[in-house]
Structure 1
Amino acid sequence: MRAILVVNPKATTTTGRSRDVLVRALRSEVDLTVEYTRRRGHAVALARTAAREGVDVVVTLGGDGTVNEVVNGLMTADPAGPGAARTPADRLPALATVPGGSTNVFARAVGLPSQWPEAAGVILEGLRLRRFRTIGLGLADDRYFTFCAGFGLDAAVINRVERARRKGRVSTPGLYLRSLMNEYFLATDRRHPAISLERPGETAIPELGTVVIQNTAPWTYLGDREINPNPNASFDLGLDVMALRRMRVPGTVRAVTQILSRRSYPHGKQVLRLHDMPEFTLVSQHPEAFQLDGDYLGERNKVRFTSVTAALRVIC
């Protein structure tokens, strides 16, 4: 079995020694090539080349951003050849994810331990037993995502956090909560919700203040606490949506409290929830912050979302 290990050398929870241990362990199971990412987007090219060269497994060591890039490289590789299988999962290399970032939502969502040594042990056993599951992905315009997307407030919060981290701040639950409060009270236009959700053959749903899209549950973590606006979201179904119709303080505080409580899902007049959606489009009257898998991608006026079934095999 041929495999490539795509390493983000800036991964926050691994060291050079731990990477060496992982490489030796993987080489006991597979014919392994190791590649280090050198810039943003490099993992996309590495995964795309691996798929076109017929590699059997692509292993990532990094955070959710590294996973997202590798997934996009695999899904856009489009291997040629007669008799190719119809579904991407059957024609593309399998994916294995060793968590090395600060949150590792995707790895935990597929059932892996949050710490890399334990997760690596599960993956090694999965390689020996040829054990995998097939998952669906989300597609936002021309970019794939594994677990979540955001249009509006949550993406703007991620942008604030990324700016703070570039200045040397450590990513902590407190940093996210402070960024949320600052963005909501100081930067959000709460009186004029500008987003509409459009579905084929349906009446548009207007005046949405912010929208969260999930391809699985949970949406993210604050430390070890799951944050789960759409607890029924699943890799095996379409996309789930939670939106706040307006951003008034009482309703927003109530929705956030419900999300954090873990005793109930967000509900009420201010909350819109849609389950197992095959496709929809978000349109805004002015540019909105946009994120995929926790990676801020700038501002957009319009994004089309599609559920892609049977997209990838994941070693777990």
Structure 2
Amino acid sequence: MRALLVVNPAATTTSARTRDVLIHALASDLKLEVVTTEHRGHARDVARQAAEGGETELVVALGGDGTVNEVVNGLLHRGPDPDALPRLGVVPGGSTNVFARALGLPNDAVEATGALLDALRDHSERTVGLGHAAGTPGTADEGVPARWFTFCAGFGFDAGVVGRVEQQRELGKRSTHALYVRQLMRQFLTEQRRRQSTITLERPGHAPVENLLLSIICNTAPWTYLGNRPIYASPRASFDTALDVLGLSTLSAAGMARYATQLLTSSPDRGPSGKHAVSLHDLTDFTLHSQAPAPFQMDGDHLGLRSSVTFTGVRRALRVIV
């Protein structure tokens, strides 16, 4: 099998020696080409070339969720076509690896490589759904490039936290769970000091959902991890359905404490609930509008401020080796 391995050398949990071992293991079973990324967007570009070339059967992403997201966007540059596109393989190398763990893959890179090779020998794969986001036609965001996401997007508060974390990482801080908690508290204090703009969710055939201050769009559950603790913002979200949305209409201290506790104690059977919580399941098409430009993130990558984003849940978008 002809395969492309896309390696992020800055992946936080793999060393150069570990990557060499993994490359050797994969090359023993595959006709392997290896590309080491050199800049942001490089993984997307090489995955796109592999998809358009027509000879590559498998593209493996070795890195964190950001690397996986870039590879997926490269593969789906011309849209989903599971039967024609190369399959995706994932070897987790980031600090969280939400997509890989949601697929049931080991969080250790060496173990995940072994699991990938076993799955290839057993011809084991699944076709997963993905999320797609684009600027809403007729708005200031109309020309913003569309993009795919694998496990989540956020519009509002949680995206602001992601943006703060990225700023700290650019200053040399490590991406740790403690860093996320600190930036969450700072974002909360910032929101309390200023007038909060609200978000409206619109979908065909339904009344608008108004006055949201936080909106998390989930393509799978769990949505993220705190250490080894899975967080289920939308417990029914699945790679086999369209998109789920968790919205909150309060960011008061009491409300945040209540919903944070619910998230920390969430499970596959129980997510956040209450009079200020909105949970919507299996949405194919919807749009989020913000009164003022709000932070936006996809798969943990902060994409700046947006006023309106249109989402599509696409079932059976890409084949993944598992």
After superposition, the Cα gap between the structure-2 partners of 1:189 and 1:282, relative to the gap in structure 1 and judged at 3 Å, is farther
Describe the superposition over 1:257-303 as per-residue Cα deviations: whole angstroms up to 9, x where unpaired: 10011354100001011011111000011010000001101010000
Describe the superposition over 1:123-153 as per-residue Cα deviations: whole angstroms up to 9, x where unpaired: 0111112210110000011100000000011
CA contact 2:129–2:239 (8 Å) conserved in 1:
yes
1:140 equivalent to 2:141? Answer no
Amino acid at match of 1:44: R
1:203 to 207, 224, 227: 207
Aligned to 1:299: 305
Q: Secondary structure at the match of 1:91?
A: coil
1:252 equivalent to 2:252? Answer no
Aligned to 2:16: 16
Describe the superposition over 1:200-241 as per-residue Cα deviations: whole angstroms up to 9, x where unpaired: 122211111010010001111111111111111000001010
CA contact 2:87–2:319 (8 Å) conserved in 1:
yes
Q: Secondary structure at the match of 2:51?
A: helix
CA contact 1:191–1:246 (8 Å) conserved in 2:
no
- Partners in 2 of 1:188 and 1:13 — Cα distance? 36
Q: Note the C-alpha offset of 1:246.
A: 2.2
- Partners in 1 of 2:212 and 2:292 — Cα distance? 12
Describe the superposition over 1:100-120 as per-residue Cα deviations: whole angstroms up to 9, x where unpaired: 111111110111011101111
What is the aligned residue count? 308
Q: Which runs of 5+ in 1 are unaligned?
A: 79-86
Q: Note the C-alpha offset of 1:186.
A: 2.0
Aligned to 1:104: 97
Aligned to 2:278: 272
- Partners in 1 of 2:64 and 2:123 — Cα distance? 24
1:57 equivalent to 2:50? Answer no
Q: Note the C-alpha offset of 1:13.
A: 1.0
Aligned to 1:30: 30
Matched-pair identity in %: 54
CA contact 1:193–1:246 (8 Å) conserved in 2:
no
CA contact 2:64–2:97 (8 Å) conserved in 1:
yes
Aligned to 1:3: 3
- Partners in 1 of 2:37 and 2:15 — Cα distance? 15
CA contact 1:147–1:216 (8 Å) conserved in 2:
yes
Aligned to 1:130: 123
- Partners in 2 of 1:9 and 1:248 — Cα distance? 41
- Partners in 1 of 2:13 and 2:181 — Cα distance? 22
1:242 equivalent to 2:246? Answer yes
Describe the superposition over 1:134-185 as per-residue Cα deviations: whole angstroms up to 9, x where unpaired: 1000001110000000001111001111111111222222111111111011
Which piece of structure 1 moves more, 275-284 or 162-171?
Answer: 162-171
- Report runs of 4+ in structure 1 exceeding 6 Å deviation: none
CA contact 2:243–2:313 (8 Å) conserved in 1:
yes
Q: Which runs of structure 2 are paired with 1:22-101 in the superposition (5 Å)? A: 22-54=22-54, 55-77=56-78, 88-101=81-94
1:313 to 313, 316, 319: 319
CA contact 1:97–1:107 (8 Å) conserved in 2:
yes
CA contact 1:12–1:100 (8 Å) conserved in 2:
yes
After superposition, the Cα gap between the structure-2 partners of 1:301 and 1:230, relative to the gap in structure 1 and judged at 3 Å, is same
CA contact 2:266–2:272 (8 Å) conserved in 1:
no
Superposed CA RMSD in Å reads 1.3
After superposition, the Cα gap between the structure-2 partners of 1:7 and 1:254, relative to the gap in structure 1 and judged at 3 Å, is same
Give the alignment's TM-score, normalised by structure 1: 0.94
Give the alignment's TM-score, normalised by structure 2: 0.93
After superposition, the Cα gap between the structure-2 partners of 1:233 and 1:159, relative to the gap in structure 1 and judged at 3 Å, is same
After superposition, the Cα gap between the structure-2 partners of 1:148 and 1:99, relative to the gap in structure 1 and judged at 3 Å, is same
Q: Which runs of structure 2 are paired with 1:139-218 in the superposition (5 Å)? A: 139-141=132-134, 142-187=146-191, 192-218=196-222
- Partners in 1 of 2:20 and 2:193 — Cα distance? 49
Q: Which runs of 5+ in 2 are unaligned?
A: 135-145
- Partners in 2 of 1:266 and 1:191 — Cα distance? 25
Which piece of structure 1 moves more, 197-206 or 116-125?
Answer: 197-206
